[in-house]
Amino acid sequence: MKRAEVLRLVAGAGAGVAVLPRAANAQTLVPVRIGCLASDATGDAFYAQDQGFFAKRGLTVSISTAVASAAAASAMVAGDLDVAIADIVVLSIARDKGLPFVALAPALLHSNKVPTLAIAVRDPAIKLGADFNGKIMACATTRGIGYLVTSAWIDNNGGDSKSVKWVEMPFPVSTAALGRGEIDGFCAPEPFITAAADAGMHILLLDKNPIAPVILQGAWFATKDWTAKNLPTARAFAAAMRDANAWTNENRQSSAQILANYTKVPLPAILGMRMRGEFADRFDISTIQPLIDGSAKYNLISASFPARNLIATL
């Protein structure tokens, strides 16, 4: 499949395309090239790098931190990138379109107990699903997890998501647009929710009748071909991420400093974030299937499929 075709298929399924720099060949037997954006949701890769979990598993990893989902998909097919991260809805859409990707390791969890996604609104009277009827909502993409969980929450709490007008808007400008009244609300992860709260907006945590009590927000993935040809490396990568995720959940302060180094967000701002999530230490089908089923219900994919089909056999 050609690069242009891959970009066309995943455009809209992930964030905007970024230019991928080619990583220099590391002087080691097992190099791995990772692409992602620098955020709390992708932090486990930075923690694995900083704490030596990759090296412990015999890997030398280069991380490009300006690579969104669409660019990553194209770069993988072109052979310029080995591993990237995407939310489960994006991966489900990619599979539905026939793109050859499989999940290697789980990343951030979103749950009622430890949320990682929320809605920001300006009007404090907007509290229930029905309050969103006829409103204008924003998210980074209408073909991703934020759109899905918000639509399901609106419907599950007395509203009609079909009456909502959705616009795609980059996270960094959403708070300002909300303040100007251009939108009625937006769904986002951190640090944008805390920024909205600091600007006087009201935050809804989506914790009543959600799409599921716990969902896997994202996963690290690779192409089926790369995984098959580099099975020991894929196994080592997955093991390193398990180590990193377990370490992160027990070391919030230390991981915050590492995240600040990679994201360039000041440490006090990271420590002040309302929703620094927990990372999954293994794939749990029950946290993935509701997103696949929901993607089918909301016409993001043509039909549901078993969640295990999304996960690489390592």
* 29 in the same domain as 126: no
Same domain, 88 and 220: yes
Shared domain check, 288 and 154 = no
Residues 140 and 70 in one domain: no
What's the CATH number where 93 sits? 3.40.190.10
Does one domain contain both 255 and 304?
A: yes
Q: How confident is the model at residue 3 (pLDDT cuts 50, 70, 90)?
A: very low
Co-location of 49 and 170 in the same domain = no
3-class DSSP state of 63 = strand
**Per-residue pLDDT reduced to its tens digit, 169-228:** 999 899 999 999 999 999 999 888 999 999 999 999 999 999 999 999 999 999 999 999
> How far apart are the C-alpha atoms of 52 and 60, rounded to whole Å?
10
**Claim to verify: residue 149 and residue 83 sit in the same structural domain:** no
Specify the pTM: 0.88
Question: Do residues 282 and 160 both lie within one domain?
Answer: no
Give the pLDDT confidence of 112-160 residue by residue, as tens digits.
Answer: 999 999 999 999 999 999 999 999 999 988 999 999 999 999 999 999 9
Q: Show the domain range for 157.
A: 118-206
Residues 17 and 101 in one domain: yes
How many domains does one find in the chain? 2
The DSSP 8-state label assigned to residue 311 in this structure reads B
Q: What is the DSSP string of 37-48?
A: B-SGGGHHHHHH
**Residues 122 and 107 occupy one common structural domain:** no
Which DSSP string corresponds to 127-185? -SGGGGTT-EEEES-TTSHHHHHHHHHHHHTT--GGG-EEEE--HHHHHHHHHTTS-SE
> At which of 153, 187, 206 does a domain end?
206
